[in-house]
């Protein structure tokens, strides 16, 4: 498995260029080639040589954007829940249809931390304790009630549980969509 950090998104690069341009207009006495000045600033800010904003990682771009916003007194936007982006069309199709009646996939996907985080967020909104959730999983009204362990191991099971919890959230008036993500990975600290 590759541990290379994810490159900055196009939206991050565009935001970074716009914020830097706005910041530079108010900066004192920077002269010379604007591009090299911008790249020198980025290199000094993150502590490595930057040849292009497109070479930045997602986390580096976020740190530069936050630094520019902070220096201009703008509100920092933090994304509380970064969801993963599935890069394979077949895997995305399988993840989206896993657990539906009549849907079958050639590959079985194990539950990811993102799937479990989505379920935990629903439990938080419902104000359920872990004990109440586990009791519901073992009950006859659970979508995976026939499983002896009640454990959520596959995307199929996670989707079934998520859809049931989502229906409960809608009925209780606590449903709202997840925020839009900027990065698809949680940066390592």
The overall longest dimension of the chain from CA atoms, in Å, is 71
Residue 1 is predicted with a pLDDT of 44
- Residue 1 pairs with which residues in a beta bridge? none
Nearest to 118 by CA among 78, 169, 59: 169
Cα(87)–Cα(121) distance, integer angstroms: 24
Average pLDDT, consecutive stretches of 10 residues, N- to C-terminus, the chain (189 residues) = 68 84 69 81 87 86 84 64 57 64 62 81 88 86 72 80 89 72 49
Residue 81 is predicted with a pLDDT of 45
How buried is 183 (Cβ within 10 angstroms: 0-12 exposed, 13-18 middle, 19+ buried)?
Answer: buried
56: CB partners within 8 A, 6+ apart: 7, 8, 12, 13, 16, 42, 46, 50, 64
Distances (CA, A) of 53 to 16, 56, 59, 83: 8, 5, 12, 23
Both tokens assigned to 79? 């994304």
Domain ranges of the chain: 10-71, 89-172
Distances (CA, A) of 60 to 63, 133, 159: 5, 38, 33
DSSP-derived secondary structure for 2-45: --PPPBPPHHHHHHHHHHHHHHHHHSS---S-HHHHHHHHHHHH
Query: What's the predicted TM-score (pTM) here?
Result: 0.42
């Amino acid at each position: 498995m590759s541990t290379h950090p994810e490159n900055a998104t196009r939206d991050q690069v565009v935001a970074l260029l716009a914020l830097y341009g706005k910041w530079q207009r108010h900066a004192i006495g920077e002269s010379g080639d604007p591009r090299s000045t911008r790249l020198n600033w980025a290199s000094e800010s993150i502590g490595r040589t930057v040849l292009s904003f497109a070479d930045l990682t997602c986390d580096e771009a976020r740190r530069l954007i936050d630094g520019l916003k902070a220096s201009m007194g703008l509100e920092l936007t933090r994304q509380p829940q970064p969801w993963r982006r599935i890069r394979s069309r077949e895997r995305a199709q399988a993840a989206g249809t896993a657990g539906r009646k009549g849907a079958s996939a050639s590959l079985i996907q194990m539950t990811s931390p993102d799937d479990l985080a989505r379920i935990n967020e629903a439990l938080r909104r419902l104000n359920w304790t872990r004990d109440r959730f586990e009791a519901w999983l073992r009950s006859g009204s659970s979508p995976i009630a026939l499983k002896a362990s009640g454990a959520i191991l596959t995307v199929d099971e996670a989707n079934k549980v998520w859809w049931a919890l989502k229906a409960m959230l809608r009925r209780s008036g606590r449903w709202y969509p997840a925020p839009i993500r900027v990065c698809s990975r949680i940066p390592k600290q």
